[in-house]
Amino acid sequence: MEEIEVHERKKVKLNKPVLIEGLPGVGNVGKLVAEHIIQELEAEPIVEIYSCHFPPQVLVNENGTVHLCKNEIYAWKSKKQDLLIVSGDQQSVTNEGHYIISEKMLDLAQQYGVSRIYTLGGYGIGQLVERQTVLGAANDAELVDEMKKYGVEFREEEPGGNIVGASGLLLGLGKLRGIPAVCLLGLTSGYLVDPKSAQAVLKILTQALNLKIDMQALENRAEEMEKVVGRLKEMEQAQTPRRREEELGYIR
Amino acid sequence: MEEIEVHERKKVKLNKPVLIEGLPGVGNVGKLVAEHIIQELEAEPIVEIYSCHFPPQVLVNENGTVHLCKNEIYAWKSKKQDLLIVSGDQQSVTNEGHYIISEKMLDLAQQYGVSRIYTLGGYGIGQLVERQTVLGAANDAELVDEMKKYGVEFREEEPGGNIVGASGLLLGLGKLRGIPAVCLLGLTSGYLVDPKSAQAVLKILTQALNLKIDMQALENRAEEMEKVVGRLKEMEQAQTPRRREEELGYIR
Amino acid sequence: MEEIEVHERKKVKLNKPVLIEGLPGVGNVGKLVAEHIIQELEAEPIVEIYSCHFPPQVLVNENGTVHLCKNEIYAWKSKKQDLLIVSGDQQSVTNEGHYIISEKMLDLAQQYGVSRIYTLGGYGIGQLVERQTVLGAANDAELVDEMKKYGVEFREEEPGGNIVGASGLLLGLGKLRGIPAVCLLGLTSGYLVDPKSAQAVLKILTQALNLKIDMQALENRAEEMEKVVGRLKEMEQAQTPRRREEELGYIR
Amino acid sequence: MEEIEVHERKKVKLNKPVLIEGLPGVGNVGKLVAEHIIQELEAEPIVEIYSCHFPPQVLVNENGTVHLCKNEIYAWKSKKQDLLIVSGDQQSVTNEGHYIISEKMLDLAQQYGVSRIYTLGGYGIGQLVERQTVLGAANDAELVDEMKKYGVEFREEEPGGNIVGASGLLLGLGKLRGIPAVCLLGLTSGYLVDPKSAQAVLKILTQALNLKIDMQALENRAEEMEKVVGRLKEMEQAQTPRRREEELGYIR
C-alpha cells in the first residue's frame, strides 16, 4: 500500500462539477448531509481512496462482511449541475495524512474539471443550539458575499479562527490552486450526532446549487434526535438551580 | 533497518496453506490460540519479521538472553491441510506500520500460495462473559454463511462496527487482493488474559479446518484463570447490593 | 504538497540582513514582537512557507475568507540595517517537522546573505512576573558578552536548560552552519498573552539593532492586559492567606 | 538535516574496542556511569550524532551558549582495552528514530571494529532499593554465564520481560549482526537520579573490563543523594502507620 491508493471503480465524464465534501466530524453534520444527498440522488460511487493514514481497521457491514476503512467519491450527472460528492468512514489520523489526502482529492477533482467546492461540517458550541445557524468561510471574498445571500452567517470571531481537517484544507489548498471553495458549518452542541443541524446546512446548499432534494429521511432522524435532546433539556433544567448555587459559591 | 525486514529462516514448499493470525490483542485470545497450535502441531518457524514500527525493545527470555521484538511465521505440513501461523511479541505501534506490516504478511502469504486466512482475536465486553461466544466477520458473503455452520455468530451491532489491527487489516487488505478471510473474535471481559475464550475460538477453528488438536494445555490455563475469575465474581457479588443502590440513587 | 513548500511572493535584494524570528509560543511573546515590528516598519511579505507538519487547518480572516496555516518571511530595507522577519500562524506539530522547517528557514536566510539571527520567545515561570527581565542564550560565546551590554541576563540555571522549537533550533542548527544567533526570552507567567514581556524584549532588540520603532501599539495592548493582570493579582492576594495555611498544614 | 547526521570530529584507530552505552533513562543510571567514565579516563569526543528524531531543542550550557540536542561517541585508548563510550542529551522521541539511531551507532561501532557492547541503564522498582543489585540480559547465552561471575543477577521475571530504548536495541539489533552485547541494569527506585545504583553498575563494569576507575566523584554524588533519600525514608516511615490503616480499611 502506497501512502495513498486510488481505486477507480467507474469512468465518468462530468461537466464542470461542483464537489461536495462531507466527512465525519463534529456532530457528524457534514457526513449526514453528504450521505443524504448520495442516497436521495442515487449518486454513483466512482472512486475509492485507501491510505495508511486512515485508522488501521475494517468496518463491519450489516451482513457480517467487512470493508477496509476508506473515503469515497460519488458522481451525479444532471442537466443543470453535475456533482462530485466525497464521503467516507474516517478522516486521516496523522497530521501529514490530512494534507496528503486533501491534495489527492483536489488532484482528482481537477481531473473531473471541478468548478467549485463546498465543504460541510459542524461547529460545536458546547451547549444546545437555540436557533439553527450555518456559519461560513470561503477562500475568495466574492464567495463570501454570494453565500450571505443564502443566509450563511460570517462572524468575525467564529468559527473560532480555524477550520480543521478536510473541510479546512480543501479551502486552503484549493486557494493555492485557484479553485473557489466555501465551507458551511452548522452550529451544533458538539455532544450528539445532529441531523437537525445537517438539515440547516442542506437547505442552504440546495439553494446555492439550485437543487431539489427530498428531506424526509433527514427530517425523520432529526425528530428521533429531538426526543433525546428533549430529555437532555429536562435533565439540564432539573439540575440548573443547584448548579447556579454552586457557581455563586465558587465565585464568592 | 528498512521499515520492515524479513528474515527467511527456512525454505518450505506448501500446498495451498491456510494462514492463521494470532497476534497480541484484547484478552490475548488470538495469541493464545496461535501459540497453542504452534506448540501442539510442532509447527516450524520459517520467517521472522522485524520493523521500526514495532516498539523499540528487546524481550528477555527465561535464560537471560534477549531477542528483538518481532513477528514470526510458522509452517506446518500435513496430508489434509498445510498451515501458516503468524504470531509475535507485539503489533505495530504506529498507524502506518499496521498497514505496512499487514501488506508484507499478505505478500509472504501469497508467495506460499495461501488459500484462505483466519485472523483471531478477542472482543472485550467490559464484564465477565456468561456464555462463551465467538463472533465473526468475513471479507466475503459466502464465508459468512459457511462460518455460521460452525457456530460463529454474526451480529448486526457487534463487533462494534470495526476490527482494529492485523486481524482487521488482513481481511480488508486481503479483500483488495481477492484472498478470502475470516475473523474469529472470542467474547472476553477485556480485563484478563482469557484462555477460556481462546478455547472457544480454537474449537471453531479446528472444526472449520477439520483438524485435531489436543486442548489440554489450554484447558489447564483456563482452569487456573477460572480460579482468579471465581474470586473476582465473589468480590463483585459482595459489592453488588451496594452498587445497585448507588445506581438507583444516580438515576432517581 | 511536498513536506515543505516555499512560495516566493516577491524578489528582493538585501544587504547582510539580520533575521528576527517570532513565532507563536509561551505568552506569545515572540510573535507579538515580530508582528509589531512588521507593522511599524511596514515590512513586505516576500516568502510563504507551507508544510504538512503544520496543523491541518485554515485560519479564518476577519472578512470571512481563509488562508492555509503558514509561516511567512517579511523583508525590510534601510540604510543602516536590512531585516528579515519570520512570523506565522503556528509552529510544526511533528518532531521531524521542527527540524525540516528550521533548516529550510536557514537555507532561505543564507540565500539572502543573513549576517545574524535573533530568535524571540517567552520563558514561563508559572507566576506573575515582578520585574520585567529578558533572558538570553547564544550559539557563540562572544555574542553572550555582547548581549550582556544590552541588559540581557544569562543565568546558569535558566532558561531551564533547554529552548524548544524554532527559537532553539535556529540557534543550534545555525551553529552547525556558522551563523551567529541569539535567543531573547522575555520572562512571563506562561498563562497569558504577554505584551509587557514583548515590550521588554523589543526594547533590547531595538538597542542591539540600533533601530527606532514606535512602541505605542504594544504599550496599549500591555495596558489592557495590565488590567486583567491587576484583577488576577487581587484574586490571588484574597486567596493567599488561606493558601499559606494549607501549605503549612501540608508540610507539618 | 537528514534523518540522522553524523559529524566526525576526530579520526582515531582503535583495537577491538568495547562499546559502552549510557544514555538518559530510568534513574539516569546509564548516563551517570558513562559520563563518569568519560571524565575519569579523559576520553576524547570523536563523533557527534544529530537527528530530527531527537527533541527539537537546544541545551543551554553554563556560560550561556547552546548546543543542539545530540548523542556523542567518545574514544579511549589504552594498552589493555580500547573503549568507545556513547552518551548524550536525549534518546529518540519517535518510535522509528530509536531503530534508526541504534542502527547508525552499530554501523559506527563496526567501523571501529567493536568486539563487544555493554549497555547501561536503571531498572525502576517503584520503591527505595534496600540492597544494591545489578540485573543483566545478554544477546548470547555464553555472555550470561560470564556475567554471573561478576555478580550480575539474571532473574526469570525481571527486568520485567523487556528492555526499552537504545539499551535494548543495541542488544537486539547487535544480535542480528553477530555482535555480543550485555545490558547491565542497576536496581533503582525510578523516582530519583540514582548515583548509588550507578556505582553498583560501574563496579561490575570495571571488573568485567579489568579497568581501574576512581569512584570518588560518583561517591560524592551518591552521598548527597543519600541525604535526600534519608529524608524521604523518614517521611515514608512517619506516614506508614496511617497508610496501613487506610489499606486495611480499603480491603475490609
Which stretches of chain A sit within 8 Å of chain B by CB? 1, 3, 7, 50, 52-53, 55-60, 62-69, 93-94
pLDDT at A39 over 60: yes
Residue with cell 486495611: D248
**Least trusted range by pLDDT, from A85-94, C195-204, C226-235:** C226-235
Q: Are A182 and A118 in contact (CB under 8 A)?
A: yes
| Nearest residue to C125 via CA among C74, C79, C78, C191 | C191
Tell me what the mean pLDDT of segment D95-101 comes to: 97
What pLDDT, on the 0 to 100 scale, is given for residue B208? 97
pLDDT at B18 over 90: yes
Q: How far is B13 from chain A (nearest CA, A)?
A: 27
Q: How far is B63 from chain A (nearest CA, A)?
A: 36
What pLDDT, on the 0 to 100 scale, is given for residue B231? 86
Tell me what the mean pLDDT of segment A41-55 comes to: 98
Q: How far is B97 from chain D (nearest CA, A)?
A: 10
Q: What is the CA radius of gyration of chain A?
A: 19
The H or E element containing residue B188 is strand B181-188
- Going by C-beta distance under 8 Å and a sequence separation of 6 or more, which residues neighbour residue A78? none
End-to-end CA distance of chain C: 60
Residue A159, preceding bond cis, omega within 30 degrees?
yes
What pLDDT, on the 0 to 100 scale, is given for residue C248? 38
Chain A residue with CA closest to C52: the answer is A96
Beta strands in chain A (DSSP E): 4-8, 18-21, 44-51, 57-60, 66-68, 71-76, 83-88, 116-124, 134-138, 162-164, 181-188
Structure confidence at residue B241 as a pLDDT band (50, 70, 90) = low
Contact D139 B57 (CB under 8 A): no
pLDDT at B67 over 90: yes
Residues in chain C: 252
Neighboring chain C residues of A138 at a CB cutoff of 8 Å: 64-66
Contact C57 A102 (CB under 8 A): no
Contact D95 B56 (CB under 8 A): yes
| Nearest residue to D196 via CA among D126, D127, D148, D134 | D134
Tell me what the mean pLDDT of segment D234-248 comes to: 58
Chain C residue with CA closest to D64: the answer is C137
Q: How far is B223 from chain A (nearest CA, A)?
A: 32
Residue-wise pLDDT for C13-48, tens only, equals 999 999 999 999 999 999 999 999 999 999 999 999
CB neighbours of residue B41 within 10 Å = 18
Q: Pairing mode, if any, of strands B18-21 and B116-124?
A: parallel
Beta strands in D9-142 (DSSP E): 18-21, 44-51, 57-60, 66-68, 71-76, 83-88, 116-124, 134-138
Neighboring chain A residues of C93 at a CB cutoff of 8 Å: 95
DSSP labels, C16-46 = SPEEEE--S-GGGHHHHHHHHHHHHHTPEEE
Q: Are C91 and C7 in contact (CB under 8 A)?
A: no
The dihedral built from the CA positions of residue D137, D142, D147 and D149, taken in this order, carries a sign that is positive
Burial letters C65-93, b for 16+ CB under 10 A, else e:
bbbbbbbbbbbbeeeebbbbbbbbbbbbb
DSSP-based three-state secondary structure for A215: coil
pLDDT at C175 over 50: yes
Contact D56 C139 (CB under 8 A): no
Contact D52 C183 (CB under 8 A): no
DSSP-based three-state secondary structure for B160: coil
What pLDDT, on the 0 to 100 scale, is given for residue A145? 96
Higher pLDDT, B191 or A1: B191
Q: Which chains touch A (3 or more CB pairs under 8 A)?
A: B, C
Residue-wise pLDDT for C218-244, tens only, equals 999 999 988 888 887 788 777 655 444
pLDDT at C250 over 60: no
CA distances from D91 to A7, C53, C94, D100, D214 (A): 41, 22, 16, 11, 28
ipTM: 0.89
pLDDT at B160 over 70: no
Q: Are D30 and D19 in contact (CB under 8 A)?
A: no
Chain D residue with CA closest to B2: the answer is D100
Neighboring chain D residues of C102 at a CB cutoff of 8 Å: 56
What pLDDT, on the 0 to 100 scale, is given for residue B244? 42
Q: Are B119 and B84 in contact (CB under 8 A)?
A: no
Residue with cell 499478505: B106
CA distance C65 to C49: 19
Q: What would the grid cell of residue D33 be?
A: 556511569
Chains C and D touching, counted as 3 or more CB pairs less than 8 Å apart: yes
Neighboring chain B residues of D169 at a CB cutoff of 8 Å: 56-58, 68
Q: Where are the domains of chain B?
A: 4-214
Higher pLDDT, B158 or A111: A111
pLDDT at A157 over 80: no
Chain C residue with CA closest to D90: the answer is C162
Chain C residue with CA closest to D3: the answer is C96
Neighboring chain B residues of A93 at a CB cutoff of 8 Å: 95
Q: Which chains touch C (3 or more CB pairs under 8 A)?
A: A, D
Q: Are B41 and B213 in contact (CB under 8 A)?
A: yes
CA distances from B125 to A66, B122, B192 (A): 20, 9, 12
Strand order in the sheet with C162-164: C162-164, D57-60, D66-68
CA distance A102 to A97: 8
pLDDT at D36 over 60: yes
Chains A and D touching, counted as 3 or more CB pairs less than 8 Å apart: no
The pLDDT > 90 percentage for chain C reads 81
pLDDT at D145 over 60: yes
Predicted structure pTM score: 0.91
- Going by C-beta distance under 8 Å and a sequence separation of 6 or more, which residues neighbour residue B207? B150, B151
Helix ranges (H only) for A42-115 are: 95-111
Tell me what the mean pLDDT of segment A169-195 comes to: 96
Q: Are B133 and B185 in contact (CB under 8 A)?
A: no
Contact D64 C172 (CB under 8 A): no
Contact B144 A94 (CB under 8 A): no
Q: What would the grid cell of residue D22 be?
A: 549510557
What pLDDT, on the 0 to 100 scale, is given for residue B23? 98
What pLDDT, on the 0 to 100 scale, is given for residue A243? 44
Contact A169 C57 (CB under 8 A): yes
Contact C102 D56 (CB under 8 A): yes
Residues in chain D: 252
Q: How far is D225 from chain B (nearest CA, A)?
A: 30
Q: What would the grid cell of residue C116 be?
A: 545574524
Q: What would the grid cell of residue B212 be?
A: 485435531
| Nearest residue to C177 via CA among D7, D74, D90, D44 | D7
- Going by C-beta distance under 8 Å and a sequence separation of 6 or more, which residues neighbour residue D16? D82, D113, D114, D115
Give the mutation candidate from D117, D119, D171 for the B interface (greatest B CB count, under 10 A): D171
CA distances from C19 to B10, C29, C76, C117, C150 (A): 60, 17, 10, 5, 18
The architecture that CATH gives domain D4-214 is 3-Layer(aba) Sandwich (3.40)
Estimate to the nearest angstrom the gap between the alpha carbon of B237 and the chain centroid: 31
DSSP labels, B57-109 = EEEEPTTSBEEES-EEEEEE--SS--EEEEEES---SSHHHHHHHHHHHHHHH
- Going by C-beta distance under 8 Å and a sequence separation of 6 or more, which residues neighbour residue A132? A186, A187, A196, A197, A199, A200
Give the mutation candidate from C2, C3, C65 for the A interface (greatest A CB count, under 10 A): C65
Q: Which chains touch B (3 or more CB pairs under 8 A)?
A: A, D
Q: What would the grid cell of residue D31 be?
A: 548516563
CA distances from D211 to A186, D13, D18, D72, D222 (A): 72, 20, 12, 22, 21
Three-state secondary structure of D28-65? HHHHHHHHHHHHHHCCEEEEEEEECCCCCEEEECCCCE
CATH superfamily of A4-215: PAC-like subunit (3.40.50.10900)
Residue D57, strand partner residues: C164
Residue A250, strand partner residues: none
How buried is C1 (Cβ within 10 angstroms: 0-12 exposed, 13-18 middle, 19+ buried)? middle
Chain B residue with CA closest to D148: the answer is B64
Tell me what the mean pLDDT of segment D13-29 comes to: 97
What pLDDT, on the 0 to 100 scale, is given for residue D241? 53
Chain B residue with CA closest to A54: the answer is B95
| Nearest residue to B164 via CA among B183, B179, B177 | B183
Neighboring chain C residues of D68 at a CB cutoff of 8 Å: 169, 172-173, 175-176
Contact D137 B60 (CB under 8 A): yes
